[in-house]
């Protein structure tokens, strides 16, 4: 029987993971956006409801990442019908937790199911990337890929797109420290140096290769040594108060390392156990209490499921 309305969820994601600028990301559990898509007799795509955004997100179909992604999909399918979108934001905007990506991926999952699954899950990625272009000016895939597929995902190449799911080591936990600041990805990209020295390119390549090997070998010490970013972190960390203090405090407590989640201001910390992930969250809280800057803290295993359907209504 034909479905009329489908609701989907897509999780928060940590892009870059230090050394993997624009080419690596992982998904987080529980936190995320929900999108419901309903068939309509009126042709075209409309955003009819947005909750949880404090009135900040656009209803115009050409500006909201949900509708931009769906329109890219409809164009590919030559689908001329009507769709209505309801967005329930669980993620803060401009947080570095892949907020724009989660909306787009949830919208695509719901629409794909509503239309009878014309695409495999991974084939939804190009449509989600179009929405990132609208959100921040660059069609980067390091949030949308893990939001869709779950786990750690490597984008080996963009042209043509070559997306590689990686192994998730047992016991790996993540702490997210979200200072109450807004950093738009567009602005955080504009502070990046346009050129990278040969030495930095070599260092970064060694670390990304080491990180990928460390994930597959479940070698926590190798993961720890590889969490080092010489390309984006030096320009961006100065925009995040408390970043250096958190970085300094967490390793003696047993964490593997930390970095800027996506374009910030959220800081991600990787730990080899849930216990250590909670311990470093308390350390981060102390750092920000001293500065009297409010934060939200999340402790999560790595989400290996990615986006999923919550409900189908007939
Ligand atoms: N459905 C949507 N959800 C979130 N942001 C959206 C949405 N539609 C449009 N936008 C726009 O995208 C921008 C938010 O994206 P931005 O990339 O800054 O945040 P983010 O996704 O949390 O960060 P990051 O990509 O670093 O994880 C805002 O300018 C917002 O208006
Ligand atoms: N790779 C992107 C991720 C944004 O979340 C950036 O660092 O700008």
pLDDT single digits (tens) 111-147: 999 999 999 999 999 999 999 999 988 899 999 999 9
φ/ψ of 73, rounded to 5, equals -70, -45
CA of 181 to the centre of ligand 1 (A): 14
Strands (E) located in 5-65: 5-15, 24-40, 44-51
Give per-residue pLDDT as tens, 19-67: 999 999 999 999 999 999 999 999 999 999 999 999 999 999 999 999 9
CA distances (Å), origin 252, targets 144, 207, 248, 289: 33, 21, 8, 20
Give per-residue pLDDT as tens, 265-314: 999 999 999 999 999 999 999 999 999 999 999 999 999 999 999 999 98
The ligand 1 atom nearest the CA atom of 262 = 26
Contact 50, 19 (CB under 8 A): no
291 is in an annotated binding site: no
Instruction: State the CATH class of domain 173-301.
Output: alpha beta
CA of 169 to the centre of ligand 2 (A): 24
DSSP string, 119-142: S-GGGGHHHHHHHHHHHHSS---T
Whole-angstrom distance, CA of residue 128 vs CA of residue 146:
12
Q: What average pLDDT does the segment 96-115 reach?
A: 97
What per-residue confidence (pLDDT) applies to 1? 60
97 is in an annotated binding site: yes
> Does the beta carbon of 262 lie inside 6 Å of ligand 2?
yes
> Does the beta carbon of 184 lie inside 6 Å of ligand 1?
yes
DSSP H or E segment with residue 257? strand 257-260
Q: What average pLDDT does the segment 76-94 reach?
A: 96
Whole-angstrom distance, CA of residue 76 vs CA of residue 168:
33
CA of 93 to the centre of ligand 1 (A): 5
Q: Other CB atoms closer than 10 Å to residue 308's CB: what's the count?
A: 14
CA of 126 to the centre of ligand 2 (A): 16
Is ipTM over 0.90?
Answer: yes
Whole-angstrom distance, CA of residue 104 vs CA of residue 205:
30
Contact 161, 168 (CB under 8 A): no
What per-residue confidence (pLDDT) applies to 221? 98
Whole-angstrom distance, CA of residue 281 vs CA of residue 169:
21
CATH fold of 5-167+303-313, please?
Ribosomal Protein S5; domain 2 (3.30.230)
Sorted by where each begins, the domain ranges of the chain are 5-167+303-313, 173-301
> Does the beta carbon of 98 lie inside 6 Å of ligand 1?
yes
Best mutation site among 18, 65, 185, 229 for ligand 2, i.e. most ligand atoms within 8 A of its Cβ?
185
DSSP H or E segment with residue 174? strand 173-179
CA distances (Å), origin 197, targets 171, 224, 234: 36, 24, 14
Contacts of 205 (CB under 8 A, 6+ apart): none
Q: What average pLDDT does the segment 142-154 reach?
A: 98
Q: Which two tokens stand for residue 147?
A: 């939001």
Whole-angstrom distance, CA of residue 45 vs CA of residue 216:
42
Residue 184 has pLDDT above 90, yes or no: no
91 vs 183, more confident: 91
CA of 212 to the centre of ligand 1 (A): 28
128 is in an annotated binding site: no
Q: Other CB atoms closer than 10 Å to residue 98's CB: what's the count?
A: 33
Residue 6 has pLDDT above 90, yes or no: yes
Give per-residue pLDDT as tens, 225-266: 999 999 999 999 999 999 999 999 999 999 999 999 999 999
**Alpha helices by DSSP H, the chain:** 65-77, 99-114, 125-136, 144-149, 185-190, 198-217, 220-226, 233-236, 243-250, 274-290
> Does the beta carbon of 131 lie inside 6 Å of ligand 1?
no
């Amino acid at each position: 029987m034909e479905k009329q309305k489908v609701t989907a969820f897509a999780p928060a994601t940590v892009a870059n993971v230090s050394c993997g600028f624009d080419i690596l990301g992982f998904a987080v559990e529980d936190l995320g956006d929900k999108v419901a898509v309903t068939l309509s007799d009126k042709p075209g795509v409309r955003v009819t409801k947005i909750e949880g955004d404090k009135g900040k997100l656009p209803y115009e179909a050409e500006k909201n990442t949900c509708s931009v992604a769906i329109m890219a999909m409809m164009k590919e399918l030559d689908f001329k019908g009507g769709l209505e979108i309801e967005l329930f934001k669980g993620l803060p905007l401009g947080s570095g937790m892949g907020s724009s990506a989660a909306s787009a991926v949830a919208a695509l999952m719901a629409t794909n199911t509503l239309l009878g699954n014309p695409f495999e899950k991974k084939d939804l990625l190009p449509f989600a990337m179009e929405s990132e272009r609208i959100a921040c000016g660059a069609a980067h895939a390091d949030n949308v890929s893990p939001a869709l597929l779950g786990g750690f995902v490597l984008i080996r190449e963009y042209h043509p797109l070559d997306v590689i799911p990686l192994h998730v080591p047992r016991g790996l936990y993540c702490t997210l420290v979200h200072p109450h600041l807004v950093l738009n990805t567009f602005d955080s990209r504009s502070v990046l140096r346009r050129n990278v020295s040969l030495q930095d390119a070599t260092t970064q390549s060694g670390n990304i290769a080491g990180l990928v090997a460390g994930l597959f070998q479940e070698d926590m010490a190798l993961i720890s040594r590889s969490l080092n970013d010489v390309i984006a972190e030096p320009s961006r960390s100065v925009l995040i108060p408390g970043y250096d203090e958190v970085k300094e405090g967490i390793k003696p407590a047993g964490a593997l390392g930390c970095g800027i989640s996506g374009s910030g201001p959220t800081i991600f910390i990787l730990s080899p156990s849930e216990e250590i992930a909670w311990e470093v969250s308390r350390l981060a809280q102390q750092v920000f209490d001293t500065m009297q800057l409010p934060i939200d803290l999340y402790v999560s295993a790595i989400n290996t499921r990615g986006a999923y359907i919550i409900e189908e209504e007939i």
